[in-house]
Amino acid sequence: MSDLDFVSGSKPIGLERGEGAFLYTADGTEYLDAGASYACTPLGHSHPAVVEAVQEQVGDLTFVDSSYPVAARENAYASLVAAAPDGLESAWFCNSGTEANEAALKFARSATGESKIVAATRSFHGRTMGSLAATWKDKYKKPYEPLAGDVEFVPYGDGQELADAVDDETAAVILEPIQGEGGINVPSTGYLETARELTADAGAALVLDEVQTGMGRTGEMWACQHAGVTPDVLTTAKGLGNGLPVGAVAVQDWIADGAASHNATFSGGPVVAAAVHATVSTLLEEAWPAHAATLGDFLVTELEAALGDVVREVRGRGLLVGIELKRGANRVARDLAMNQQVLALPAGRTVLRLLPPLVIDEADAEHLVDALTATIAPETDSDA
Ligand code: PMP
């Protein structure tokens, strides 16, 4: 049997409404969203700017092929390119993270004329054939082989191993600036810079997958900005439309110039485009990435003070936080949900992941710490 859950609604909590960092059942029970929306709602649930933009657009023009200029699409494009790291001058919209990575790998192959992809252990880039080939876990891949071949895996975070793998036949190195599914793995300082240098020297494309780290979550709009590294290709999705299904690939000119034909019917459709424009402009105008940095520091400091002795490690950046537990993360996530009304997310067997909307405030963060303390270290909690 595969692990695929064909039945939606496998969790016993029926959620009907969301507002800011909170979700509500039909009878009004409130849950703190610390991961239930999977980094897809950086501005919080039902943010008025996004709701209004989407409602208006759906009434005006729901869909027309992307070869026709539509203001919503042009606005989305302009706001995304302006928000992308300097040097990424054009972009292509798609519908999901895996599709963004699929396109990134295709663009890298056609722009370099090479085929080899270098990816990292513990990576996750999506579940379509190409992205899956660059994803680490055998469990996801084996039943579907053969995948799109020519992928070499190197240990994440090891610059020397990366140097040994990258050569003249490399089309792309694809990395998450901080690994999400793999367990919130933060590479040591200098790793992304090394990846940048190696790919530039080899004429290969550096693809940074910011599907989980992007949209302000780590305290900068894009996690690569902490290292001052501009990739050749940056992929984004999840939070890009504050919950609407949209992804994008932002590229340097040499990639755009070398990319062969590629498109999809729903690329940048007017409704998701309206959501992208509202989300990106609100995030930047209201400085939510900086808020994520401050709240993330606060959260990690409080978590370390409350849980330092009973967990192995608290790590992450901004509001992308992982708690390495001494026991199974699934069980802790379930207890948190059922007993504390806090919805967090495992990342691997022993890491509990916190991915709240960026709009949580200090009181919400304290609430989260108290709920985690009561669940992970109840004896510490009752002593307090
Ligand atoms: N890349 C990363 C880093 C991700 O975390 C994910 C989703 N967890 C994906 C790609 C795939 O995105 P999607 O589910 O939208 O295809």
- CA 55, CA 52: separation in Å to the nearest integer? 5
SS3 37: coil
Does one domain contain both 236 and 177? yes
pLDDT confidence of residue 149: 83
Q: Per residue in 151-179, pLDDT tens?
A: 999 999 999 999 999 999 999 999 999 99
- CA 304, CA 251: separation in Å to the nearest integer? 38
- CA 13, CA 268: separation in Å to the nearest integer? 33
Does one domain contain both 214 and 129? yes
Does one domain contain both 148 and 243? yes
Distance 102 CA to ligand 1 centre (A): 11
Q: Which residues are annotated binding-site positions?
A: 97-98, 124, 127, 209-212, 265
Q: Are 355 and 39 in contact (CB under 8 A)?
A: yes
The DSSP string of 60-120 is H-S---TTS--HHHHHHHHHHHHHSPTT--EEEEESSHHHHHHHHHHHHHHHHS--EEEEE
Does one domain contain both 62 and 91? yes
Q: How many CB atoms lie within 10 A of CB 56?
A: 13
- Does the C-beta of 135 come closer than 6 Å to ligand 1? no
Does one domain contain both 308 and 216? no
Distance 237 CA to ligand 1 centre (A): 8
pLDDT confidence of residue 7: 62
How many domains does the chain contain in total? 2
CATH of the domain at 37: 3.90.1150.10
Task: State which residues form the domain around 71.
Answer: 48-285
Q: What are phi and psi of 111, to 5 degrees?
A: -75, -30
pLDDT confidence of residue 380: 53
| pLDDT averaged per 10 residues in sequence order, the chain, 384 residues | 56 94 97 97 98 98 96 98 97 98 98 98 98 97 94 98 98 98 98 98 98 98 98 98 98 97 96 98 98 98 96 98 96 96 96 98 98 87 45
φ/ψ region of 91 (left if φ > 0, alpha if ψ in -120 to 50, else beta) reads beta
pLDDT confidence of residue 383: 45
pLDDT confidence of residue 10: 80
pLDDT confidence of residue 12: 87
Please state the pTM of the whole predicted model: 0.97
Instruction: Name the residue among 219, 350, 344, 230 with its Cα closest to residue 290.
Output: 219
Does one domain contain both 185 and 262? yes
